[in-house]
A and B are shown apart, each in its own frame.
Chain A
Amino acid sequence: MLKILRQKKMIALAIGAVLAVGSFAGCGSEKKEAGADNSKVYRIGVLQLVQHGALDDSNKGFVDGLASKGYKDGANIKIDQQNAQGDQSNLKTISQRFVNNKVDLIYTIATPAAQIAANETKTIPIVGAAITDYKAAKLVQSNEKPGGNVTGTTDYTPPGRQIDLALKLVPHAKAVGALYTSSEENSQIQVKAMKEYAAEKGLTVVEATVTNVNDIQQAVQSLVGKVDFIYCPTDNTIASAMSNIVKIAVPAKLPVFIGDEAPIKTGGATAGISVNFYKLGFQAGEMAADILSGKLKPADMPIGLQKEAKVIINKEAAKAIGLVIPEELRKAVE
């Protein structure tokens, strides 16, 4: 009996030690940086859903956007970088920590991160990125006038513009394949809008959804022969597996359109009107700077759109499929 008691005590001591180290480390990291002038050091909590190219870009852009307005990490701001690593239960723990630490601003990357933070605090300003529709996620009252403590930038490009671009490159098209992840709210919103626009243009829409990267080959294969081009929304899973998609699409002479720069430039997608997640993050950083300096309040800051969404065409991909690039689009070729 005594032995068991002693062991329990040791385990308890060990846990105690871990906790103590934790609180010490915590105190250490909270120490304000000396050396900078004695103006207030703002604390910013960054909450990212998962490690992923576009989200990482949003994160980097944000830090640079803040810096462009004179808020440099380690000098007059202290950025607490946190990543839930795809586990949504961690989002809660992290946002609670931010709220308890009374950070001055929370930057959330991806919809669930913003929703959890918004549920946790109604007062601390929240700036979001990598979110498509703030209103549908109930983060704001309206995208023009948020009305609460949440604002940010959206990765939304009107899907109609992608379809217009596609029709310029594939004028004879009769059917479009929509390829997206069924678990991504953002993708569903875009595909819904795309379907409405495609109907106006007299195009038939064939949907192919995947649950993760492993389903992609089959999904693309299911579109071959049924459609004249593939439309992809700004979708995390699709973007990360673009080279896998084009492996099937290009031999089948199916152009792939996506509203995200990296999959076109490096993934081999054919073309798209692209959102740049770094720039959107940068824009969010500038918005955060305006909030910190007291110039603006989230309630009055409209959701930011990409200032100049540009047309990009991947020359090799277009050539492999045998697309004729119209004169007006020549300068978009990269």
Chain B
Amino acid sequence: MSDLIVSTVAQGLLWSVLAMGVFLTFRTLDIADLSVEGSFPLGAAVAAVLLTGNHNPATAIIAAGIAGMLAGAVTGLLHTKLKIPALMAGILTMIALYSVILRVMGKANVSLLNIDTVYTSLAFLNLSPNMTTFVVGLIIAVLIPVLLYWFFGTEIGMALRATGNNPQMIRAMGVNTDTMLLLGLVISNGLVAVAGAFIAQNNGFADVGMGVGTIVIGLASVIIGEVLFGSKDFKNSLISVVLGSIAYRIVIAVVLYLGMPPNDLKLFTAILVAIALALPLFKAKWDSRKVGV
């Protein structure tokens, strides 16, 4: 049982990187960016190809991040320069990336079994596979929020956050909101691709189909995190996203544990996310009623 808890939490930590990417676009820029479903497997593909070509894991992960940033830039340019609605721009990038990923890998599935990865590079610690994942997850789930917190405290970072909150105000202050949107999408998709690189190494393969449903995983993590752990400031939000990602994994683990009929699993996930999305409304109603009494 304790093993199961460790592995579930470890998965939550790894996936939290994806959730942070989704958080940046969804909450900071107020866009549901669907290119995530393409940049996630893109990161996995780039990392997998480099790893099978005997490059070290650090190179593979950095390259994955850069590939994801380029994907984000494409969405950003489609949206800001060609004025394509954000949702559509994301979908276009996602579709295009499917072919790009097949080009990158040369096939649909690249196996990483028995290949040196970031996890095997920690073999000297002599930990169980689950503990190794946990350690790697913990490092990135601390390091990345810290970096983000630092970045979003800088002038550019502040301007980026303000772009989502109040575009009129920030434009009035002389900031180019298009540049900010572009930057936000670049960072977000870079993070998502890095998540893809870590997950692929953890799963033992990269597959062109692995992006399916990732936007839901990301959004669910962000929202569950907000509902359970609050979002009163930026730091708190980042922590909530990581905890939300863990909570989401726990819910999925429990559902699978209970042996829910597989055909109902997607429906359940959708209901869960819908409830999480609606909770703030119920909460507000509940509060106002109490005040009324």
Contacts and interface: CB of A to CB of B under 8 A. Distances in A.
Q: Are A and B genuine complex partners?
A: yes
Contacts of B188: none
A86 B259 contact: no
B267 to A, nearest CB: 10
Given A7-B283, A90-B265, A115 B108 contact: no
Contact of A138 (B11, B114, B212, B247): B114
A82 interface: yes
B262 A51 contact: yes
Interface in B242-257: 247, 249-254, 256-257
A204 interface: no
Contacts of A185: 107-109, 207
B203 A86 contact: no
A22 interface: yes
B257 A112 contact: no
Contact of B256 (A18, A94, A137): A94
Contacts of A92: 11, 202-203
B248 to A, nearest CB: 10
A138 B113 contact: yes
A68 interface: no
Contacts of B207: 88, 112, 183, 185
A118 B113 contact: yes
Interface in B3-56: 3-4, 7-8, 11, 15
Contacts, number: 142
B290 A85 contact: no
User: Looking at B111, B130, B263, which has the most chain A CB atoms within 10 Å of its CB?
Assistant: B111
A139 B112 CA distance: 10
A184 B108 contact: yes
B258 interface: yes
A218 interface: no
A116 interface: yes
B99 to A, nearest CB: 8
Given A11-B228, A88-B212, A100-B4, A119 B113 contact: yes
> Number of contact residues on B: which range applies?
35 or more
Interface string A21-64: 11101100100000000000000000010010000000000000
A88 B109 contact: no
A22 B265 contact: no
B208 to A, nearest CB: 5
Interface string B78-115: 00000000000000000000100010000111011111
A3 interface: yes
B4 to A, nearest CB: 4
A96 B111 CA distance: 19
A87 interface: yes
Contact of A118 (B130, B204, B263, B283): B204
A3 B204 contact: no
Contacts of B98: 182-183, 211
A97 B256 contact: yes
A243 interface: no
A116 B204 contact: yes
Interface of B: 1, 3-4, 7-8, 11, 15, 98, 102, 107-109, 111-115, 129-130, 199, 202-205, 207-210, 212-214, 217, 227-228, 247, 249-254, 256-259, 262-263, 265-266, 283, 286-287, 290
19 contacts: A3-B290, A7-B286, A25-B259, A51-B262, A82-B259, A85-B265, A86-B209, A88-B212, A89-B210, A92-B202, A93-B253, A97-B253, A112-B205, A115-B113, A118-B204, A182-B98, A182-B208, A183-B98, A183-B208
